[in-house]
Amino acid sequence: MKPVFKPIVLFALSWVFSLVPAHAAKVVFLHGGRSHASGDHEFRAGSHLLAKHFNAQKKVSIQASIHAGWPKDESILDDADAIVIYADGTSVIGKGWEKMDQLVKKNKVGVVFMHYAVHPSVDKGEQYYLPWIGGFFKNGVSVNPFWRAKIKPMKGHETAQGVGPIDAVDEFYFNIEYHPKALPLGTATPTEKNLHHINNLWTQKGFLAKGKKQSLLWGIVRPDGGRGAGFTGGHHHRNWAIDGYRTLVMNTIAWAAGEKVPSGGVPTYKVTEDELNEQLDDYGARTNRVKLPTVADVTFTPGPWRTPEEHAASRRKPKKKK
């Protein structure tokens, strides 16, 4: 009779090893401090919400953590697969230019900048943002109006998998300066009919962009295989409760970390109002409870699509009478 010991042992070992979890990709969220009014620029709360959803699912092997600002101990980033920065301008990355560049070049770390964090100076944008993430908000060119965007993910790209409808009003920057190889991962078209209002930064190129498709979420695959992405939304905290909006960004972060996005997208779940209000910045008596998105949020009388000169004139304060 042939011995059966060896096959049994091999089967047992394969079963044991199947129980050992595979290496989880490490995603580190670095969030900025509070700014604006309560309910907007909730960088801490938004980072916690996304990290919580990553850690709650089991289909994509990701372990997310959150850190306030740029870490004093930069070594915590050494084994990161992706770093997400959600902050005002360069308030976070401004303390770590050289370290991030090192991580990008040596470790092929994925980099994702969200909302105001995509807005550096022109020189830093050209030096770092174009190669890291494939684009940046360029002073004198890019604009930051509030408008209703029905974002369409890039057909055939894995970041589009499982993404439901996205219809949101946000401060979606556009006329971004892109790398020639940037990927349009999420696009929408600004028009007179979906413009809520022009904000402080308005340019001739912004004025002429009416009716032209814009990438509000973009990505890049670097020559060494590393990945990066930028997302211009994220001003209004309530929008993280929009399933498609959240899924598209989570898919993109997973993609930037080098993980395979499932056919149904990175698993997530319905956000409740209570969850939306977790980790909000404390504004004391001026702290607002954030409500779930409603149809009323995307229903409005459009603002005028002014020329830069008309816009500048509308913002001038009338002179006080002597």
Query: In DSSP terms, which residues pair with 218 in a beta bridge?
Result: 184, 230
Please say whether the beta carbons of 290 and 273 come within 8 A. Answer: yes
Query: Stretch 53-57: mean pLDDT, rounded?
Result: 98
- Whose CA is closest to 47, among 98, 1, 12, 82? 82
Q: Residue 19: is its pLDDT beyond 80? A: no
Q: Residue 29: is its pLDDT beyond 50? A: yes
- Tokens describing residue 119: 């807005």
Q: Residue 11: is its pLDDT beyond 70? A: no
Query: Stretch 85-89: mean pLDDT, rounded?
Result: 98
Class of CATH domain 23-315: alpha beta
* Alpha helices (runs of H) in the chain, residue ranges in sequence order: 5-19, 43-56, 97-107, 122-124, 130-133, 204-207, 243-256, 273-276, 308-315
Q: What burial letters (b/e) apply to 283-301, b meaning 16+ CB within 10 Å?
A: eeeeeeebeebeeebeeee
Query: Stretch 113-128: mean pLDDT, rounded?
Result: 98
Question: What is the C-alpha to C-alpha distance for residues 133 and 222, in angstroms, rounded to an integer?
Answer: 9
Q: What is the pLDDT of residue 316?
A: 84
Look over the chain and give the mean of its residue pLDDT values, rounded to a whole number.
93
C-alpha pair distances (Å), 246 with each of 53, 185, 240, 242, 250:
10, 14, 5, 6, 6
Q: Residue 14: is its pLDDT beyond 50? A: no
Confidence class of residue 205 from pLDDT cuts 50, 70 and 90? very high
C-alpha pair distances (Å), 304 with each of 47, 159, 244, 266, 314:
34, 34, 29, 39, 11
Q: Where are the domains of the chain?
A: 23-315
Q: What is the pLDDT of residue 315?
A: 86
Question: What is the C-alpha to C-alpha distance for residues 108 and 117, in angstroms, rounded to an integer?
Answer: 20
Residue 263 burial (CB < 10 Å; 0-12/13-18/19+)? exposed
Q: Which of 17-21, 168-172, 277-281 has the lowest mean pLDDT?
A: 17-21
pTM of this structure? 0.92
Q: What is the pLDDT of residue 170?
A: 98
What number of residues does the chain have? 322
Q: Which of 1-5, 82-86, 164-168, 226-230 has the lowest mean pLDDT?
A: 1-5
Q: Residue 228: is its pLDDT beyond 90? A: yes
Confidence class of residue 23 from pLDDT cuts 50, 70 and 90? confident
Q: What is the pLDDT of residue 5?
A: 44
Q: What is the pLDDT of residue 319?
A: 65
Question: What is the C-alpha to C-alpha distance for residues 233 and 160, in angstroms, rounded to an integer?
Answer: 17
Q: Which of 62-66, 122-126, 316-320 has the lowest mean pLDDT?
A: 316-320
Q: What is the pLDDT of residue 317?
A: 74
Query: Stretch 224-234: mean pLDDT, rounded?
Result: 98
Q: Is 152 left (phi over 0), alpha (psi -120 to 50) or beta?
A: beta
Query: Stretch 64-71: mean pLDDT, rounded?
Result: 98
- Quick one: what percent of the chain has pLDDT higher than 70? 92
Q: What is the pLDDT of residue 9?
A: 42
Chain-centroid distance, C-alpha 57:
19
Confidence class of residue 22 from pLDDT cuts 50, 70 and 90? low
